[in-house]
Amino acid sequence: MRISYPIYFINNIEKKLLSSNIKNIFFLTYDAFGVFPPIAKLNKAQSSYYFLLGYTSKVAGTEFNIQKPKATFSSCFGGPFMPLHPVQYTKMLMKKLDDTEINVWMINTGLISGGSGPRIKLDDTRKIVQNALNGLLSEVPYEKYPIFNFQIPKYCPGVSSNILNPKNSWKNKEMYQNQIRILAQKFIQHFDIYRQYTDKNISSGEPVLE
């Protein structure tokens, strides 16, 4: 059993040891289809949307009877451990984002080169996260990533710019366009189970298929 409770339930806490508000939140995902960038900056609606869905991939060798990559969703990136409805936790996150200035990032440690190439190097992931923590990614230009519409950096110190936009690693651009649309459709379909419980503050973070 796991349990949590408000810190004020404890009478003898040392308040001086409490940290200040955080500056960065990282959502960790593993995209096995080669269309998610290694890092993306999310706005408030996107942060709420992707937190609610909790996207990652199941791949062969990690779970029984998985022969090929499969998109999967675990609400709030930990669905089995959430006793309340996932939208409740999403609203808590939204309030935190309203009350403080927090950067929210999506970190992808999955595959590149069309999902058939190597995994994103651990050293690259470390540099990306360190640059975000150090504030260096606030000083670089960004571009809007199609369909998913989050912002991706054009430059990240110490990391090859070729991997920052997944499209660059696909030899067949038509296959890339097809795969990104397939994945976006999975997001849209999965969000249908929450759609009636949310408003535009969350749904506006959804991928857009034109």
pLDDT tens digits along 68-115: 778 899 999 988 888 889 999 999 999 999 998 899 999 999 988 765
Distant-in-sequence, close-in-space partners of 135: CB < 8 Å, separation ≥ 6: none
Of 25, 49, 56, whose CA–CA distance to 150 is shortest?
49
Q: What is the pLDDT of residue 116?
A: 66
pLDDT mean over 180-194: 96
Measured between alpha carbons, how far is 132 from 37 in angstroms, rounded to an integer? Answer: 15
pTM: 0.88
Band (62; pLDDT cuts 50, 70, 90): low
Q: What is the pLDDT of residue 83?
A: 85
Q: What is the pLDDT of residue 1?
A: 55
Is residue 27 scored above 90 in pLDDT?
Answer: yes
Token match 């942060």: residue? 47
Query: Which ranges of 139-194 would DSSP assign to H, the alpha helix?
Result: 173-191
Q: Are 131 and 137 in contact (CB under 8 A)?
A: yes
Largest CA distance in the chain: 62
Token match 């309030």: residue? 95
Measured between alpha carbons, how far is 8 from 130 in angstroms, rounded to an integer? Answer: 33
Is residue 17 scored above 60 in pLDDT?
Answer: yes
Is the domain 22-203 a CATH 3.30.360.10 member?
Answer: no
Q: Are 66 and 60 in contact (CB under 8 A)?
A: yes
Please provide the average confidence, as pLDDT, over all residues in the chain.
Answer: 90
Measured between alpha carbons, how far is 130 from 136 in angstroms, rounded to an integer? Answer: 9
